[in-house]
Chains A and B, each alone.
Chain A
């Protein structure tokens, strides 16, 4: 089962990604990334104006791509489906706009697997996300991967909804 609530929000923004079709596992590489609104790094000039997150922080990345920082997987799977592809395309556009930013993809699993296998599975998921980003133009030199297996859940219940949220690959900006 997919955790779909957050994905619905993603798809609302990325309407062009919907055109890929529900069955598409990978977006054709020649397709341009969907248009998204990326905040610029221009700092506020007014003395009393709000100062937003700066480039090179996770906050800036999250503000720019929303829930697209993270993609989700089916049980025991590591493939990039069309929803994942749309989120990664959003990420790729951000990374194209801010070439100075490097990042880590953290691979995770749900708790319903044995510990060692889950470390290997999380590694596979992180690499799936990385490979997709590289295939659409992000330099592999900017991407680090790490698997936490089932050791770092974000949803703490033991039910299908929580497990779906935990089967994920999350992109995290490497702060300098």
Chain B
């Protein structure tokens, strides 16, 4: 287990920028919805939990965060005391949903007072099953900001393990809960954090022969859900920029499949290429400075790289056939992509300049939609061998492990810490689609709650 130094710095979290939407430039009516209820049952009631918990799951109690004083706040109609309960509920749901912990939420626990937060009443907690205890506080500052303190204690040792404080605008209160979840997760598992992140995906409605496909975004737990396009034009395959300022996606808004860069602050959309060829499969470089896209010219599709500021594109592949996708290694030096140059879809690795292209998949089926792990040590892909499954392999194509067993599971995307993979699952005949996630061990598979059917998840990095 990694040892972390106790941190007491206050981390200021910026307000999330307002999102605007457009299909053909028309503004979006205010139809943002929040789907994840921040209560103890939330998320779980609408999910299918397939994986089994391990025997050594850590028992952890998350008590209601105590208000310094119970005062009004824009973050909760019932004041800061109610907000403190909500914060603990969000943390509880986060920790429950990854299979490493057995969290007990605030609704069945004693509620510590503000004065007890730094010094727990040990007698209350040692009589319970929990090995770990999370306490915290909420403070409404006179400048309108909220301060949220997050403390993790080892109950047996009666010791504080780590603490952190966050300054957030009231509308961003959930980020404090996600930051606190990340603090606890990282301290107890030694892994990197991932809760304070967002997901872009495609929301689907309507019958199979007339599906409406809209660009949508949500927090990692499904909250703060928004539709960004109206659905008049089919939208596919979104990708958040590393700094969350932009989303690249494919839209049929002009009648052709073409990649647009959607600037979230301004709502402005720009084409990746100025010519009239179809473009697809947009991908960001890890540093956000350049992008990969695929372009079909007279039916032949190749991968290109261009600076995010425009300019001349570099063609990286030149074989006849379909070369698409492209996912950078985290150091930006290599790209894994898919090609049917051998006759079927297979996965290949090349240097970032297009040199040294070599096939890495030789397992007898087809290899599609490869995505390089943020940790660099694994590549997730769609394994087509009869059914479609999500699998992982090393960057040299070895040690393949199949993680899912749906009829059609495709398009893996990595959690920021490289421990969890999301994908979408299509149901045979009905064509209904849904987002799922599974951890790297193949356990803890669960369906993500979305307001409507969903596909093409793209998990962004930890928020800046």
Q: Which residues of A contact B (CB under 8 A)?
A: 76, 78, 111-117, 119-121, 123-124, 126-128, 131, 146-147, 149, 151-154, 156-158
Contact = CB atoms under 8 A, between A and B. Distances in A.
A119 B209 CA distance: 16
B237 A116 contact: yes
A114 B380 CA distance: 14
A128 B299 CA distance: 8
24 contacts: A76-B340, A76-B344, A111-B408, A113-B368, A114-B345, A115-B456, A116-B280, A117-B322, A117-B368, A120-B301, A120-B322, A123-B301, A127-B296, A128-B299, A146-B256, A147-B296, A149-B257, A152-B209, A153-B209, A154-B209, A156-B208, A157-B429, A158-B428, A158-B431
Chain B interface size band reads 35 or more
Contacts of B278: 119, 123, 146-147
Q: Which 10 A-B pairs have the closest CB atoms?
A: A127-B299, A114-B368, A120-B301, A120-B322, A123-B296, A124-B299, A158-B428, A116-B281, A158-B429, A156-B208
Contacts of B299: 78, 123-124, 126-128, 131
Contacts of B382: 114
A112 B208 CA distance: 14
A111 B280 contact: no
Nearest to A116: B281
Contacts of A114: 345, 368-369, 382, 384, 388, 410-411
Interface string B349-379: 0000000000000000000110000000000
Contacts, number: 91
A147 B410 CA distance: 20
Given A119-B250, A153-B431, A154-B209, 4 more contacts: A121-B322, A127-B298, A131-B298, A156-B429
B55 interface: no
A117 B338 contact: yes
Contacts of A117: 322, 324, 338, 340, 345, 368
A127 B300 CA distance: 9
A81 B254 CA distance: 32
Nearest to B300: A124
